[in-house]
Amino acid sequence: MKLLTNWRILLLVIALLLAFGIIFVNTGHDENGYLGNTNVKLGLDFEGGTLLQIELQKEVEVDELTRIASIISQRIDPSGLRDFTVTPVGKQFIIIQVSETDAVELEKIESRIRQQGKFEANLNGETVFTGDEIKKVLRGDNSFGVYQAGPGAYEWSLPFVLNEQATISFTEKTFHQCSATSFTPEGKPIYDCEKTIFFLDKPNALIVIDEDQYYEDSEAIFVGDTLLNIPQQSDIEEIIQDSQLNFIVYDGNLDPTILAGALLKTQQAIVSPGIGNDVILALQEKGFEVTKYPKNDAPWTWDVLNAQQIISLTEGITNEDVADISQAKQFSNLRISGRRESADIAFSELDELAILLESGSLPTPVKSISKETISPSLGESFKSIVIMMAIIAFIVVGIVITIRYRNFKLAIPIFIIGGSEVLLNLGFIVLTQRPLDLAAFAGLIAAIGTGVDSEIVITDEIMAKSKKIKESLLSRAKAALFIIMTSAFTMIAVMLPITMFARSYPGIDKLYGFAIVAIVGALIGVFITRPAFTKILEKIAEGIEKKEDKEK
Amino acid sequence: MDDFFGQRYKKYMIIPIILLIPMLFLILVFPGITPGIDLTGGNVIIIRSAIELDKEQITSVLTESFDLVDLKVSTIASPTGYGAWIEYSKDPLTSQAEELLDKASASLDNDTESIAFSNELIVLLGGEAKEFSNAKLALLDAQDALLLYKEEFYLKLQNALSEKLALGQNVEFQRKEISPTIGGASFQGIIQISIIGFILIAIVVFVAFRQLVPSAAIIQAMIFDIIAGLAGMALLNIPLSLTTMPALLLLVGYSVDTDIMLTSRVLKEKSGTAGERATTSMKTGLTMTGTTIAALTAMLIISYFYQIEIIYHISAILLFGLVGDVIATWFMNAPILLWFKEGRK
């Protein structure tokens, strides 16, 4: 018990208690994907899943790559339900890990990654043009950019070109969509124009919203939100109409005609969080696959439909000056513009919209996708084998040490400290929310391996020599400390470059877990476990020496 | 034995020098080190089955029905089941299609030209040329066609293997596909990491001991260990890959422990003669390496039988490297230190 008053031992005990809490205290996650009843999250190797490595056509700036990565995340999982990570690497790579292993689903994901986001501009419940019909955003054009329109007013302008078919249909659908509501003092008409609503990857599903949510959304959309590009006095009904989806505001009844109509188009149904289980059950009975979409910051309706922008038409393109559509002028070059209070905001809005129209294609196309799949059952068997391997390795090490020292009493501290290091390293892995995969496991082995090495050095330094010379315990411990410090730093030196380059080259990121666990393991050893080990050994040595003195 | 080194220590140095010759032969001449598909790009299919897999049979099934470039097949039998490792770089049609895809996406600004390339690809893979309103759409269709072709090709391959080898239901396929550019970029990264890692470790050693000869002696041991690890890779036909390069680095991190301990004791401590100190160090060092070798042997055997490739590769390399380390540390590093110590007297 006296040992506990030593700060080194105390530090170890506190660290162990913390690690124990981090690993074992249940945080309420579901059981899938974790190691037994612990909080240790399992990686791809043990859980099964697929690693996709995307290579872009050319190198791009870091900002651009991050942007592409976020577009891709959106596409893989518009509703935020899948378990996946998307990491930009270097200048032209994006690495994705998904838990999916089914070949068909993977093909869908792959094609969605490469694909144009499905962009559509809708008006009066009809599609005016789609992303496919945009030939090009004229980024090089003079009219592309932001200019100051007055004090505190910055106008952005985005020119783009429609293809032939879309030009014709655009002219038809926008014809006379503005109406003069009043006149200027000079007698010129002032027009009020219809609005187009832009959608990107609109879901193909029946939407069911509870009344409370509907009214909340309706108000929020009327008030407007500049961050979300919702202008003031927008109308929720107009958005719903333009979405062209079957939409039910649930007031206690599910309109059977709407359900029947929806079933002709889709079997998917998305419901708001306020929709009860009875309604979901009723929908499932009708044959729908129901997804509950969470409420995020944006109005639920806006969010679930993936609405992006509301853009008003201008009288310049709606051919108000001619009476008949046959005389209408056709515009293939269109321009969207808006005004913001600062140049920065205007630029970012322009940028956002340009990407929207282009994605369409990703700003830089995908050149190739490499992939690696590990099936869940394979991962499962890996898991048990690796655990078995760790236990056997531990026992083997124990045997070697016992044989070498012919003293079980000396093997026990090595065992305890080895076990502590496993626990502390796992604690670190959980704390940083990293998954335990084969690479991290190898890092763990490296850390424990050097740990055992160091403990042998300490044991020999303190024990073996105690017989020969009467150096003070302190100086012996100091000699041991120099050796273990130096060897810990060599381990850190050799692993550090991996952590430095993990985000620069594809493939290296897989090794990040390996390197970081090895480094942290070395640090834990030098600062927590090995000082405590030295203290324990000093006590044992003192005991032995006293005994020897007595015998003399 | 109080002094293993005595006056004969200089003779010990012959052993590592002689061993270098066969090791370098293994690495540089035959069988040599091959880079893995992680670093060159290519396809790997791993089969795990309850039924015995025959290398010749797999090879003949694949060569009969498919035109695969650089096909390599290896099999393994263990008490837990059978495994096969099939590697090929590409089938020629895919390469051709990928070239067309590159051309199509490079010429996106020119609608007609780009659409023509995309259509050529679609036709090449057995589809029909279409009218496209713009190049982007054509490119997407072409990419989809290639994706579909690859999927189908792989499925055909998998089915052919399942059927002709009569593998039944109890079989597990694992698949890995790496593009050549990604492989190349990984290669570049791993080389950079290794060089920097090696420089950093040398700096740590020099800072710790602040003497040229002892530090250089440690570094020669590191190099010898890497050579031993590489020789093991050549011998066991383990490719240079994203798993094995870090294993070599890890080897350096591991093996240098004994050298540091030895140097520290011989140079800094005062008890007994230098030779005696080196001898006690050797006892400690052999225990250190011994525990690691014991643990690695256990891991090596288990991972071999259960076919966990990553662990198998790492433990094999470490094992060879650490055996090399025993030689490099006690037959080279220790004698150099003793010589150095003697010269300074």
Condensed to tens digits (0 to 9), the pLDDT of residues B207-257 reads 999 999 999 999 999 999 999 999 999 999 999 998 898 899 889 888 899
Q: Where are the CATH 1.20.1640.10 domain residues in chain B? A: 9-37+181-344
Q: Which pLDDT value is given to residue B78? A: 76
- What pLDDT, on a 0 to 100 scale, did the predictor assign at position A80? 55
Give the SS3 label for residue A290: strand
Q: Dihedral through CA B122, CA B124, CA B126, CA B131, nearest 10?
A: 30
d(CA A175, CA A79): 36
Count of CB contacts below 8 A, A vs B?
Answer: 260
φ, ψ for residue A32, nearest 5 deg: -65, 135
Q: Check if the beta carbon of residue B240 is closer than 8 Å to that of residue B34.
A: yes
B186 touches chain A (CB under 8 A): yes
Nearest residue of chain A to residue B110 (CA atoms): A135
pLDDT given at position A103? 77
Cα–Cα distance, A311 to A363 (Å, whole number) = 22
Do A40 and A23 meet the contact criterion of CB atoms below 8 Å apart? yes
What is residue B217's predicted lDDT score, i.e. its pLDDT? 95
- Min distance A435 CA to chain B CA atoms (Å): 17
Identify the DSSP state of A41: B
CA atoms of B220 and A462, how far apart (whole Å): 29
pLDDT confidence of B259, banded at 50, 70, 90? very high
Query: What domains does chain A contain, in order, with CATH numbers?
Result: 2-43+375-547 (1.20.1640.10), 49-116+369-373 (3.30.70.3400), 118-196+306-360 (no CATH), 203-298 (no CATH)
Does position B316 have pLDDT exceeding 80, yes or no? yes
- Give the residue, A321 or B197, on which the prediction is more confident: B197
> How close A418 gets to chain B, by Cα (Å)?
13
A213-222 own/partner pairs: CB under 8 Å, 24+ apart? A213/A272, A213/A273, A213/A274, A213/A295, A213/A300, A213/A301, A214/A249, A214/A301, A216/A299, A216/A300, A217/A299, A217/A300, A217/A301, A217/A302, A220/A299, A221/A299, A221/A301, A221/A302
Alpha-carbon span A523 to B342, nearest angstrom: 36
CB contact residues (below 8 A), chain A span 393-412, against chain B: 393-394, 396-397, 399-401, 404
Closest residue to A396, CB basis, from B137, B250, B298: B298
Mean pLDDT of all residues in B256-272: 89
Of A361, A389, A507, the CB nearest to B186: A507
Report the distance separating Cα A480 and Cα A160, nearest Å: 71
pLDDT tens for residues B63-120?
Answer: 888 888 888 888 888 777 788 889 888 788 888 888 898 888 788 777 788 889 999 9
Smallest CA-to-CA distance from A310 within A199, A419, A448, A410 is with: A199
Of B139, B205, B292, the CB nearest to A449: B292
Q: Which residues are bridge partners to A96 per DSSP?
A: A52, A86
Name the residue of chain B whose CA is nearest to A515's CA: B246
- The DSSP secondary-structure symbol of A364 reads S
The amino acid at residue A31 is: E
Q: Which residue has the tokens 């919702």?
A: A230
What is the C-alpha to C-alpha distance for residues A549 and B308, in angstroms, rounded to an integer? 54
pTM for the model: 0.76
Between CA A400 and CA A393 the distance in angstroms is: 11
Q: What is the dihedral of CA B177, B181, B186, B191, to 10 degrees?
A: 140
Is the Cβ pair A163, B253 closer than 8 Å?
Answer: no
Beta bridge partners of A50: A98, A373
* B200 in A contact zone (CB under 8 Å): yes
**What integer pLDDT is reported at residue A315 of this predicted model?**
81
In this complex, do B250 and A382 lie within 8 Å of one another by their Cβ atoms? Answer: no
Please state, in angstroms and rounded to a whole number, the distance separating the CA atoms of residues A465 and B271: 9
Name the token pair of B308: 């966990």
The reported pLDDT for the residue numbered A217 is 94
**CB A498 to CB B193 under 8 A?**
yes
The DSSP letter of residue A129 is E
Pairing of strands A206-210, A268-271: parallel
Question: In which band, very low, low, confident or very high, does the pLDDT at B163 lie, cut at 50, 70 and 90?
Answer: confident
pLDDT tens, residue order, chain A (552 aa): 566 678 889 999 999 999 999 888 877 666 677 887 888 888 888 888 899 998 887 788 887 787 678 778 767 765 555 678 888 998 889 999 888 888 778 887 887 787 656 778 898 888 888 877 887 788 778 888 888 888 888 888 888 888 888 888 888 888 888 888 888 888 888 888 888 888 877 888 899 999 999 999 999 999 988 777 788 889 999 999 999 999 999 988 888 888 888 888 888 888 999 999 999 999 999 888 888 888 878 899 998 888 888 888 888 788 888 888 888 888 878 888 777 788 888 887 787 777 667 655 555 677 778 888 888 877 888 888 888 988 898 889 888 888 888 877 788 888 889 899 999 999 999 998 888 888 888 888 888 888 888 999 998 888 765 555 556 667 777 888 899 999 999 999 999 999 999 888 988 888 898 999 999 999 999 999 999 998 888 888 888 777 777 776
Pick the residue from chain A with its C-alpha nearest to B148.
Answer: A107
Q: How many CB atoms lie within 10 A of CB B12?
A: 17
- CATH code linked to domain B9-37+181-344: 1.20.1640.10
| CA R_g for chain B | 27
So what's the pLDDT on residue A421? 92
Judging by DSSP bridges, how do beta strands A153-162 and A178-183 pair with one another?
Answer: unpaired
Residue with tokens 């001449």: B29
CB B190 within 8 Å of CB A508: yes
Residue A337 vs residues A223, B7, B162: alpha-carbon distances, Å:
21, 89, 60
Best residue in B152, B287, B312 for a mutation probing chain A (most A CBs within 10 Å) = B287
CA–CA separation, B228 and B316 (whole Å): 11
**Gap between the Cα atoms of A67 and A352, Å rounded:** 10
- The enclosing H or E element of A197 equals strand A195-200
Q: What is the mean pLDDT of residues B258-286?
A: 90
A394, A457, A501: residue with CB nearest B189: A501
DSSP per residue over B66-93, as a string?
---BT-EEEEEEETTEEEEEEEE-B-HH
Interchain contact A446–B (C-beta under 8 A): yes
- Asked if B140's CB is within 8 angstroms of A493's CB, the reply is no
- Write phi, then psi, for A440 (nearest 5 degrees): -65, -35
